[in-house]
Structure 1
Amino acid sequence: MPDRTQQFFAATPASVGAARDFALAALSSWGLSARTEDIRLCVSELASNALTHGTDPGHGFLVRIEADDDFVRLEVHDSRGRRPAIRHPDDTETSGRGLLLVEALSDDWGVEDRRPVRQDRLVPFQG
């Protein structure tokens, strides 16, 4: 099967839910149901991080998902050059656990350099 799809999203709060819907629609169209909840949560966390910490003015974020018989690869590209790192917040902090969740739910994760997403390339997801 190799299958791959991607979608640009505007830097708006509604895009986080749209990114989740996009990823789940792709998995469903490919007939993949294993670990969809894990993938949905990872999309939500990574898209939220891109929106909150990774988008420059006039830029959105990209969600790319691909699958074959052995794996599903999820990528979320943002527009800033800073590399995310796992934080270990104390019990009094109310945020900062997103990448801990991604690490716990995924078999592997990492960060790669790439070119920023441009606003003029955004196409809304029609879910």
Structure 2
Amino acid sequence: MTAAFTPAHVVPPQVAYVQRQFARRRASVGPVRHFVRQATSGHLPADRVDDVIVCASELATNALQHTPSGRDFRVCLGFEDGVLRLEVHDAGDGSPRVREAAVEDDHGRGLFLVAALADTWGTSHRDGPGKIVWAVFRSAKSADA
């Protein structure tokens, strides 16, 4: 009987998925950042973890603004082969888009930051009301992102 082995150069993909529900209130943004930092540490380099945290904070803030009262929002993180996918699920209507905020505006830059920091981002439909806003991060930031 011969033993099966995996050659050293063949590494099986590492897949992990975590999610957490948050109440629709301003005080939830800090816990979102903490959750994302804890979940991403060790999966991405520190500078990319910082990018993910900023994006999670911006997407959570958007979810607070667009989710109806009494509804929660969910933050999901999926890791596979050095790529992280951040998702924020909310029950709000509409389709988010990057906008150009005026200098005097005190809001409206969140998706601009997400577009600048993530390798790619977008929206998807979900079961039930609302949408998923997602952002993808590779271990090393893409030159064309």
TM-score bracket for the superposition, by shorter chain length = 0.7 to 0.9
The question of 1:69 aligning with 2:81 is answered yes
1:26 counterpart (25, 29, 39): 39
AA aligned to 1:22 is F
Query: Equivalent residue for 2:120?
Result: 108
AA aligned to 1:32 is H
Distance between the aligned counterparts of 1:103 and 1:33, measured in 2?
19
Is the Cα–Cα contact under 8 Å of residues 8 and 63 in structure 1 kept in the other structure?
yes
Give the number of aligned pairs: 114
Distance between the aligned counterparts of 2:129 and 2:85, measured in 1?
19
TM-score (norm 2): 0.74
- The alignment partner of 1:87 has SS state of coil
AA aligned to 2:43 is L
Query: Equivalent residue for 1:41?
Result: 54
Q: Percent same amino acid at aligned positions?
A: 42
Is the Cα–Cα contact under 8 Å of residues 11 and 59 in structure 1 kept in the other structure?
yes
Distance between the aligned counterparts of 2:35 and 2:100, measured in 1?
30
CA RMSD of aligned residues (A): 1.3
Which of the pair has the greater relative contact order for Cα pairs under 8 Å at 6+ separation?
A: 1
AA aligned to 2:29 is V
The question of 1:86 aligning with 2:98 is answered yes
1:50 counterpart (58, 63, 76): 63
Query: Equivalent residue for 2:28?
Result: 15
Is the Cα–Cα contact under 8 Å of residues 20 and 44 in structure 1 kept in the other structure?
yes
Q: How far apart are 1:107 and its partner, in Å?
A: 0.2
Is the Cα–Cα contact under 8 Å of residues 77 and 116 in structure 1 kept in the other structure?
no
- The alignment partner of 1:109 has SS state of strand
Which ranges in structure 1 are unaligned for 5 or more consecutive residues? Answer: 118-127
- The alignment partner of 2:86 has SS state of strand
The question of 1:3 aligning with 2:16 is answered yes
Higher helix share: 1
TM-score (norm 1): 0.84
